[in-house]
Amino acid sequence: MTDTLFAKIIRREIPADIVYEDDAVLAFRDINPQAPMHVLFVPKTPIATLNDLGEADAPTVGRLVLAAANYAKAQGVADDGYRVVMNCNRNGGQTVFHLHLHLLAGRAMHWPPG
- Any idea which residues carry the catalytic annotation? 100
4 belongs to the binding site for ligand AMP (CB under 6 A): no
31 belongs to the binding site for ligand AMP (CB under 6 A): yes
Residues between 35 and 64 with contacts to ligand AMP, criterion CB under 6 A: 40
Single residue of 2, 23, 32, 76 touching ligand AMP by CB under 6 A = 32
In contact, 22 and 67? CB cutoff 8 Å: yes
Q: Quick one: which segment of 50-58, 63-71, 76-84, 86-94 binds ligand AMP (CB under 6 A)?
A: 86-94
Q: Which residues contact 90 (CB under 8 A, 6 or more apart)?
A: none
30 belongs to the binding site for ligand AMP (CB under 6 A): yes
Q: How far apart are CA 63 and CA 83, in angstroms?
A: 17
The least CB distance from residue 19 to ligand AMP, in Å, is: 11
Single residue of 18, 19, 50, 96 touching ligand AMP by CB under 6 A = 96
Residues near ligand AMP (CB under 6 A) are 5, 16, 28, 30-32, 40, 87, 93-96
